[in-house]
């Protein structure tokens, strides 16, 4: 028979056990990796915001439809917005998403350094922030980053430029020019730095000569990723440095600019140089198969959007989203998932695009 002291002891043990179980339950439901606070455990039909930049390339346009369809299929209320009016419009759109009670906000930034106030407001509201394709800079208020490995993209572009020129002319020296993306896009310098990791040693040993002398990122940038800006600069370079000199190759960071560069060279009546690209845009894939643009990069937008949505699903279920590395954004190391980019030339286009319903027919 239990005495009074034994009864009190059992009661205390039961109370402590209950508290311990309650504490474990909260930890399992509401925590994420690395101390990142987030929207774990929210409703399955929650509002999810997606803030995208301007429609400057096909991959962004495609992402809009994929996010709308994917979030709807997963049971969420998607709010997908483009900021074609610029940074201030994107700031307002993110503020609106916060007001609507978005549990997760996926941000493809126009300028990753200009959203600090809105990101803090989003975090204060309890939302989780996922940087999409472009890292959000100099802020603690970003939880995850999903993208292709953009430094690797640049390295692939640099190597493609070398390979393409060598295929046309087995030995150098080679005359080249360098183009970079928009300076307000955090990815632009990463692409450029990756390419220069491959090209700079060849510039140093004399294999490559940048005839214009414009070798730095600020000299090579293309404001707004606009084709007309790239074409205008190429016109100027050709008139100033290539009246009697052959241009062997051009480093172009994406397909839109590559086609603008090719248009400029054609208008000047010059032989086409080797021109790189990125994004596997339809017109550039056609150009590659026609023997004009030399290369592009395949970054499957469907796979990128799907992984971002998988992150949302994990957060909703109280799970930690899958990541593979960390990215230093200037303030913190952001848990990151990198997808693998693939270089594409005429030689391997059919193989790379075999399962892409839009691009595979272009390689026949």
Angstrom distance (rounded) from CA 258 to CA 250: 8
Res 143: pLDDT: 98
Each residue of 86-107: pLDDT tens digit? 999 999 999 999 999 999 999 9
CATH number for the segment(s) 37-142+300-340:
3.40.50.2300
Per cent of the chain over pLDDT 70 is 89
Q: Is the pLDDT of residue 348 over 90?
A: yes
Half-sphere exposure of 282 (CA within 13 A, CB side): 6
**What band does 349 get if pLDDT is binned at 50, 70 and 90?**
very high
Q: Tell me which architecture the domain covering 150-298+344-363 has in CATH.
A: 3-Layer(aba) Sandwich (3.40)
Each residue of 33-70: pLDDT tens digit? 333 444 447 999 999 999 999 988 888 999 999 999 99
Do the domains at 37-142+300-340 and 150-298+344-363 have one common CATH topology?
Answer: yes
* Dihedral sign for Cα atoms in the order 222, 225, 227, 229: negative
- The answer to whether 260 and 222 have CB atoms below 8 angstroms apart is no
Q: Is the pLDDT of residue 315 over 80?
A: yes
Res 41: pLDDT: 77
Half-sphere exposure of 20 (CA within 13 A, CB side): 6
Give me the mean pLDDT over the 291-315 stretch.
97
Res 183: pLDDT: 95
Res 31: pLDDT: 34
Q: Is the pLDDT of residue 82 over 50?
A: yes
- The answer to whether 230 and 261 have CB atoms below 8 angstroms apart is yes
Neighbouring residues of 69: CB distance < 8 A, sequence distance ≥ 6: none
Domains of the chain by residue range? 37-142+300-340, 150-298+344-363
Each residue of 253-265: pLDDT tens digit? 999 999 999 999 9
Q: Is the pLDDT of residue 175 over 80?
A: yes
Cis peptide before 173 (omega within 30 of 0): yes
Res 57: pLDDT: 81
Tell if the pTM clears 0.85, that is, is over it: no
For 91, other C-beta atoms within 10 Å of its C-beta total: 20
Report phi then psi at 297, rounded to 5. Answer: -120, 135
Angstrom distance (rounded) from CA 140 to CA 31: 17
């Amino acid at each position: 028979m239990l005495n009074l002291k034994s009864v009190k002891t059992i009661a205390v043990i039961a109370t402590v056990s209950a508290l311990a179980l309650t504490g474990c339950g909260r930890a399992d439901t509401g925590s994420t990796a690395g101390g990142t606070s987030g929207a774990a455990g929210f409703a399955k039909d929650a509002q999810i915001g997606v803030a995208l930049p301007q429609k400057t390339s096909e991959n962004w346009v495609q992402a809009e439809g994929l996010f709308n369809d994917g979030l709807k299929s997963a049971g969420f209320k998607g709010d997908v917005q483009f900021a074609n009016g610029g940074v201030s419009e994107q700031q307002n759109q993110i503020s609106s998403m916060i007001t609507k009670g978005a549990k997760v906000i996926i941000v493809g930034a126009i300028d990753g350094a200009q959203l600090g106030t809105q990101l803090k407001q989003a975090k204060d509201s309890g939302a989780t922030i996922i940087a999409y394709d472009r890292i959000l800079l100099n802020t603690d208020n970003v939880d995850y980053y999903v993208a292709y490995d953009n430094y690797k993209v640049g390295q692939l572009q640099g190597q493609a430029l070398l390979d393409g020129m060598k295929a046309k002319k087995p030995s150098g020296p080679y005359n080249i020019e360098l183009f970079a993306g928009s300076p307000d896009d955090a990815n632009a310098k990463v692409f450029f730095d990756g390419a220069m990791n491959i090209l700079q040693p060849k510039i140093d040993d004399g294999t490559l000569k940048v005839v214009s002398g414009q070798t730095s990122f600020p000299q090579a940038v293309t404001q707004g990723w606009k084709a007309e800006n790239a074409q205008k600069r190429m016109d100027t370079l050709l008139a100033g440095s290539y009246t009697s000199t052959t241009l062997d190759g051009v480093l172009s960071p994406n397909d839109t600019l590559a086609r603008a560069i090719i248009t400029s060279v054609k208008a000047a009546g010059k032989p086409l140089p080797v021109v790189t690209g990125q994004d596997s845009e339809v017109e550039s894939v056609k150009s590659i198969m026609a023997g004009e643009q030399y290369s592009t990069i395949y970054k499957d937008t469907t796979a990128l959007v799907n992984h971002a949505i998988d992150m949302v699903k994990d957060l909703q279920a109280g799970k930690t989203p899958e990541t593979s590395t960390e990215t230093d954004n200037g303030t913190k190391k952001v848990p990151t998932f990198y997808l693998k980019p693939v270089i594409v030339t005429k030689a391997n286009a059919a193989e790379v695009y075999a399962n892409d319903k839009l691009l595979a027919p272009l390689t026949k």
